[in-house]
Amino acid sequence: MFHDSSVVRRSPRPDPIGGVEALLRRRADLLVIEEEQEGLVAGRVSGASHARRLRPAAEVSEACQEVAWDLRRRGLTGLLGRLGELRDQAERILRENPLLQARGALDVVRFRDSVPRHVINSRGERERRTGWGLHRRIRNDEGPSVVLAITRPGYRQLDHHHPVPEYTLVADSVIGAHWWDGRRRDSIATDGEILHFAANTTHALVNIGRRPGRTLTVKYPLGLKAWIPVFSGAGRAHGTARVLRPVARTVRRDRESAVFEIEDECHGYSIELIRLAAGAALRARRERDDYPFVLAGTVEASGRHGAVRAGRNDVLAIRAGMPHALRAGDAGARLYRVEIRR
Ligand SMILES: [Fe+2]
């Protein structure tokens, strides 16, 4: 059993109803952004225009969450529906695929250019989220995508469940999970392990480590859109959870690889964690477009038409069929790759 750190929530806003009205006035602006997104073309989207569209959506999403917590605590639940719809609209905008910015056969989408957006829990603490499609369609939820969440020590998610199974890879920190099978259970995963929750199992992740933690979750479209919060114990759905370790490991002089196979009624993919020693190079030619994520260190990716450098939290975009090399920088590199089978 482990416990969350307790953090005192800041005082409520003086006028939550006025806050809702002000927020709802932003619907028209968001609608214009959604229409603009319909016309986006992969490879012709600039980082500046991506940020211009996502920034107001991130602001509205966060304000909706804060106001919703205030309303809930005051028992003013009548306006939550309209606030929820507005947040959904903002979240649709936030699912603009950052890989639309990738140009040519080899490029990098940098984390430092992404727009910060947050999920806010019942104590007012923030979890930074970002996501990218494992494809180059307009929205992340038009195919499989990855969600990266960054939390501070002590951060606890709101209890929630999804209609599909979830597999969350833990990086850096120690992540605990509360989940329910009739009574509360706790599981713990450390760096390089996956927390698996069966479909509809109510769960909440907690960063129980001493440093900020990252989790990476591959989401298929339904899993990305359907996130069902549970505000009271009565709404908890019972299920099962496990900690998964790699099914295969290879260790060579200058590199290591660990592979997870995810196969169930909803998913078919593998995850590979690759560790390269300083200066080590991985040469490959993939059958499908590849989007390696840099967990740590730096890599230089080179192909026929040039080279790009990528650092921590950056995503590379490499076209299918192109022979390329990923060479680790002086501090080595750690990469996360997903191969979708279906
Ligand atoms: Fe979840």
Distance from Cα 157 to the centre of ligand 1, integer Å: 9
pLDDT beyond 60 at 251: yes
What local confidence, expressed as pLDDT, does residue 14 receive?
A: 73
| Residue whose token pair is 């005082």 | 11
Distance from Cα 312 to the centre of ligand 1, integer Å: 24
Distance from Cα 269 to the centre of ligand 1, integer Å: 18
Distance between CA atoms of residues 290 and 70, nearest Å: 43
pLDDT tens, residue by residue, 134-147? 999 999 999 999 99
Distance from Cα 95 to the centre of ligand 1, integer Å: 17
Q: Predicted confidence band at 5 (pLDDT cuts at 50, 70, 90)?
A: very low
What local confidence, expressed as pLDDT, does residue 18 receive?
A: 86
How many angstroms separate the most distant Cα atoms in the chain? 63
Q: Is 37 helix (H, G, I), strand (E, B) or coil?
A: helix
Which residues make Cβ contacts (< 8 Å) with residue 232, sequence separation at least 6? none
What local confidence, expressed as pLDDT, does residue 232 receive?
A: 86
CA dihedral 55→61→63→64, nearest 10 degrees, is 160
Distance from Cα 107 to the centre of ligand 1, integer Å: 31
Distance from Cα 238 to the centre of ligand 1, integer Å: 14
| Residue whose token pair is 């099978």 | 181
pLDDT beyond 50 at 268: yes
Distance from Cα 194 to the centre of ligand 1, integer Å: 12
**Which of 13-22, 62-71, 283-292, 323-332 shows the lowest per-residue confidence on average (mean pLDDT)?**
13-22
Distance from Cα 217 to the centre of ligand 1, integer Å: 9
DSSP-assigned states of every residue in 221-257: HHHHH--EE--SGGGPPP--EEEE--SEEEE-SSEEE
Distance from Cα 44 to the centre of ligand 1, integer Å: 33
Distance from Cα 92 to the centre of ligand 1, integer Å: 18
Exposed / middle / buried, residue 234 (Cβ in 10 Å: 0-12, 13-18, 19+): exposed
**Mean pLDDT score, 328-339:** 98
What local confidence, expressed as pLDDT, does residue 2 receive?
A: 55
Distance from Cα 85 to the centre of ligand 1, integer Å: 21
Exposed / middle / buried, residue 17 (Cβ in 10 Å: 0-12, 13-18, 19+): middle
Paired with 16 in beta bridges are none
Q: What is the DSSP letter of 317?
A: E
| Residue from 292, 297, 336 nearest 317 by CA | 292
pLDDT beyond 90 at 109: yes
pLDDT tens, residue by residue, 171-216? 999 999 999 999 999 999 999 999 999 999 999 999 999 999 999 9
| Residue from 290, 259, 289 nearest 274 by CA | 259
* Structure tokens that stand for 296 in this block: 């740590």
Distance from Cα 124 to the centre of ligand 1, integer Å: 19
* Structure tokens that stand for 25 in this block: 């006035």
* Structure tokens that stand for 212 in this block: 């900020």
Q: Predicted confidence band at 160 (pLDDT cuts at 50, 70, 90)?
A: very high
Which residues make Cβ contacts (< 8 Å) with residue 263, sequence separation at least 6? none
**Mean pLDDT score, 283-310:** 97
